[in-house]
Structure 1
Amino acid sequence: MEIFLIKLLQFMLAISILVLLHEGGHFFFSKLFGVRVEKFYLFFDPWFHLFEFKPKKSDTTYGVGWLPLGGYCKIAGMIDESFDTEQMKKPAESWEFRSKPAWQRLLIMVGGVLVNFVLALFLYAVCLFTWGDDYVKPKDMQFGMKFNKEAQDLGFRDRDVLVGTDLGEFKKFGPDMYRDMARAREAYVIRDGKPVTVNMPGDLDLLEMFKSVPPFMTQFIEARVDSVLPGSLAQHIGMRKGDLIVAVNGKKIGSHNEFLNEIGRVSDVLTFAKNHADSVKALTVHLTLAREANGRLCAINTSGLLKTSDKASENLKFGFTPVLPNDKVTHIDYGFFESFPAGVKYGWNVLAGYVGDMKYIFSAEGAKSLGGFGAIGSMFPDVWNWHKFWLMTAFLSIILAFMNILPIPALDGGHVLFLLYEMITRRKPSENFMIRAEYIGIGILLLLMVVANLNDVLRWLHIM
């Protein structure tokens, strides 16, 4: 519960900051061009609100709604999600949105996206200036990588140290590394101290690489116990520092990665449990440990019962941590003036990668990969860490900017599309058309929201 609350608080704080600043962008340009803003709200307020006030001599009512799905800035004389058609039936006033030149209306509509994008670049720059950049180069990973069957069929072997591809050297392990591997014709590794070239097809399915279980590649970790928590299941079944796990439920394993994969199967088995006896059987895990004693290596068989109520990682369910590789960490410090171009480059690479991956959304598997509020919230760290919080907020700010500029009615991008049409043809779309388009856009957004959050529920239930 504590981990859930920490993630929830981080998610709520990040979303609140992003929504306020996004709507603040619309607010700023509206006021700049003399357009009246009737309401400025954090969160939505159908039927009632949590808080509301209107300063003296102000045309704007400020408030906080109860539905934390975003926020809004109600601009006078504009067809938006409020569907205030009564106002649109009246003669246009000079202080209304519809009375302003098209270029001013365009800036008002892109104001929110502009603020979110600039905010992301600013946050990346501040993070680089404050904390620098710490990462482990794949070529510096002591134990190399762990590969799944599909990767091994291509010619990779466990403990291969990845260096790069014909597209360039790998800087750090992450999405960019996967993208290069998907497009590469050759991959370069160090195997048993010698350079080896692995021929690649050049058109691997990136989405399948991300979604495969076990993953296409991940850092290799030995199945050796480093420490055991007092009172834990690991202590109860007799695990000790230095023990090597060699088999789980009778299946031989060669790494901690495989240990996690086998323990993860427990959830799948529990799905088909018909009674309490079946559940107990599924939760009973048998381990074979290799332990050195008196100069000899001996095998120890032991077993224990997992607790399904524990939502922590599989390591913490057992109460032990594995021996982690002592990899060389590359640290780069950035001066004040260096941090801003570096932050812009960092943010641009994040945006380019995200936009490039959007094509997968239009496939059946891509639709399944959509995530809602639960998926976004789970991306925040288990403990409060300001560095990771601001990096995650910057990432969400880029996503919010990009998603809002998509040419979908009801989003900023939809309004921008119609304004560009007006500027080119010098003809405004009719109000009836705009209202219908707004309804269609909201319908599309609601459908996407339902699908994304339904995916979260299905993943939580282990159905998908």
Structure 2
Amino acid sequence: MELFIQVSQLLLCLSILVILHEAGHFFAAKYFKCRVEKFYLFFDPWFSLFKRKIGETEYGIGWLPLGGYVKISGMIDESLDTEQLKKDPQPWEFRSKPAWQRLIIMLAGIIVNIILAIVIYTGILYTTGEETINTQELKDGYVFSEAGKKLGFQDGDVILEVDHKPIPTLNYLPVSILFGDQVSVNRNGKIIHLDLLPEAKKYVLSSEGKSFISPRIISDVDSIMPKSEASKYLKKGDIIVSINGMPIQYLDQLKKDLLTHKKDTVSLGILRGEKQVIEKIYVPDSAVLGFIPSANILKNATAYKKYSFLQALQRAPSLSWDMLLMQIKQFKIVLNPKTEAYKHVSGPLRLYQAFSPEWDWLHFWSFTAMFSIWLAFLNILPIPGLDGGHALFTIAEMITGRKLSDKAMEKVQMVGVIILLSLMVLVFGNDIWNIIQNIIKK
């Protein structure tokens, strides 16, 4: 059932994005009086799940959920259908329109994706608001996993800047580090600059992703799990200040020491109110005592802002821009072979995992907005076969006054098809490989 819910959310997300993206091309083409022969949700090689012709346009649903398309008369696209080009240009054909009109038609889908993201973010900010965690308030620094320590970090490091820029919210800190080149930290009062090497990022990406960093919190007791070891000796409000006589302050220090005392009894120094007491407690094999800390420093750093509609409308473009910058940085790290980030690119076979196993509308719309920005960025890349490739040649035509011949455009499109097919093989190969690996691990 959980898989069904995740796949359903993915299909709904893709359907919304594809229909609106292609609708941008469709309505722009119609506005400039181009004939649109087909409008398809998903691709339909060999057969379609549904099709119906209304007027001059065939509307349909394909079986391959990798995107969608509109087929505009007189345009050489990835279908490489050039039969119409053997005849003289007709007034309703794409090729007979002025360059500026063709450029608008090509960019219309990208523009719709950007507008859609702004609309969604406006709705989220207006109805739900925005939660941020102020990094300036996290004065105790951060805890890093073994993968994070390979980047050069140490527990307790206070991160000051990434690529010479402060990162004001924890929301963006992990990805900023992964996509950055250098980070400055305050380590025990000393400023240290760490180079973020691609080989170290490779280790992080292959093991833990964004979970390599978390705020450092003190080892206090807020709630206790029933029937746990902690329920026998600890009380709400306790602060653990030592273990076997060695002073500690933070939860990560306690966890580290407990791992070395599995199936053993330790003496915990506890500050209980104004008194300090010693409790002997057995450490189970899991090294988990069974209490939850208050994480007050994290709570105090968390701010929640509610927006009026006008404020949401003003904030949404900035949020969309932040997402676009993240996509650009992500693309940069994927292109660096030393990080091996390309191995972690998810395609349709694994993309459903990005959605919650329970239907979560907030997460759904947040992901859809982010994915809409990603599609806009992907489509604007100057790759033949993508909107950006068409736009590039059209802009060159507008500058030089010379139009690429239909024969040359056909060859360029063939190159684009080869590039896109290669990317599809890579993405599907990654998906299949990861699925096989997960099956083997189980």
Is 1:423 paired with 2:420?
no
Among residues 284, 307, 326, which one is paired with 1:353 in the alignment? 326
TM-score (norm 2): 0.78
Is 1:22 paired with 2:21?
yes
Match in the other structure for 1:414 = 389
User: C-alpha distance in 2, partners of 1:152/1:357?
Assistant: 21
For residue 11 of structure 1, give the secondary structure of its aligned residue in structure 2.
helix
Q: How does 1:190-339 map to 2 (within 5 A)?
A: 196-201=189-194, 203-205=195-197, 208-209=200-201, 212=204, 213=207, 216-220=212-216, 255=252, 296-302=279-285, 323=293, 325-326=295-296, 327-328=299-300, 329-339=302-312
Among residues 131, 155, 176, which one is paired with 1:134 in the alignment? 131
Match in the other structure for 1:187 = 185
TM-score (norm 1): 0.74
% identical equivalent positions: 37
User: C-alpha distance in 2, partners of 1:372/1:29?
Assistant: 29
Match in the other structure for 1:265 = none
Among residues 313, 316, 331, which one is paired with 1:343 in the alignment? 316
Change in CA separation of 1:19 and 1:227 when aligned onto 2, cut-off 3 Å: farther
Aligned AA (2:318): K
Change in CA separation of 1:160 and 1:200 when aligned onto 2, cut-off 3 Å: closer
Change in CA separation of 1:441 and 1:130 when aligned onto 2, cut-off 3 Å: same
After TM superposition, give the deviation of residue 133 of structure 1 in Å: 0.6
Among residues 342, 345, 351, which one is paired with 1:370 in the alignment? 345
Query: Which region of structure 1 is more displaced relative to structure 2, 129-138 or 172-181?
Result: 172-181
After TM superposition, give the deviation of residue 81 of structure 1 in Å: 2.1
Match in the other structure for 1:446 = 421
Change in CA separation of 1:297 and 1:163 when aligned onto 2, cut-off 3 Å: farther
Runs (5+) with no aligned partner, structure 2: 244-249, 269-276
Q: How does 1:161-180 map to 2 (within 5 A)?
A: 162=159, 167=164, 169-176=166-173, 178-179=175-176
For residue 40 of structure 1, give the secondary structure of its aligned residue in structure 2.
strand
User: C-alpha distance in 2, partners of 1:290/1:104?
Assistant: 76
After TM superposition, give the deviation of residue 359 of structure 1 in Å: 2.2
The answer (yes or no) to whether the contact 1:37–1:76 under 8 Å persists in 2 is yes
Match in the other structure for 1:281 = none
User: C-alpha distance in 1, partners of 2:37/2:67?
Assistant: 17
RMSD value over aligned CA atoms? 3.8
Change in CA separation of 1:454 and 1:397 when aligned onto 2, cut-off 3 Å: same
After TM superposition, give the deviation of residue 209 of structure 1 in Å: 4.0
The answer (yes or no) to whether the contact 1:404–1:412 under 8 Å persists in 2 is yes
Match in the other structure for 1:10 = 9
After TM superposition, give the deviation of residue 162 of structure 1 in Å: 4.9
The answer (yes or no) to whether the contact 2:151–2:197 under 8 Å persists in 1 is no
Aligned AA (2:196): L
Aligned AA (2:295): P
The answer (yes or no) to whether the contact 1:143–1:325 under 8 Å persists in 2 is no
User: C-alpha distance in 1, partners of 2:91/2:109?
Assistant: 23
Query: Which region of structure 1 is more displaced relative to structure 2, 25-34 or 152-161?
Result: 152-161
For residue 46 of structure 1, give the secondary structure of its aligned residue in structure 2.
strand
Aligned AA (2:280): L
Is 1:457 paired with 2:427?
no
Is 1:100 paired with 2:97?
yes
Match in the other structure for 1:308 = none
The answer (yes or no) to whether the contact 1:7–1:381 under 8 Å persists in 2 is yes
After TM superposition, give the deviation of residue 166 of structure 1 in Å: 9.0
Aligned residues: 401
Aligned AA (2:336): S
User: C-alpha distance in 1, partners of 2:42/2:254?
Assistant: 42
Runs (5+) with no aligned partner, structure 1: 230-234, 247-252, 263-285, 304-317
For residue 355 of structure 2, give the secondary structure of its aligned residue in structure 1.
coil
After TM superposition, give the deviation of residue 376 of structure 1 in Å: 3.2
The answer (yes or no) to whether the contact 1:40–1:61 under 8 Å persists in 2 is yes
Among residues 341, 357, 362, which one is paired with 1:387 in the alignment? 362
After TM superposition, give the deviation of residue 322 of structure 1 in Å: 5.2
User: C-alpha distance in 1, partners of 2:415/2:70?
Assistant: 20
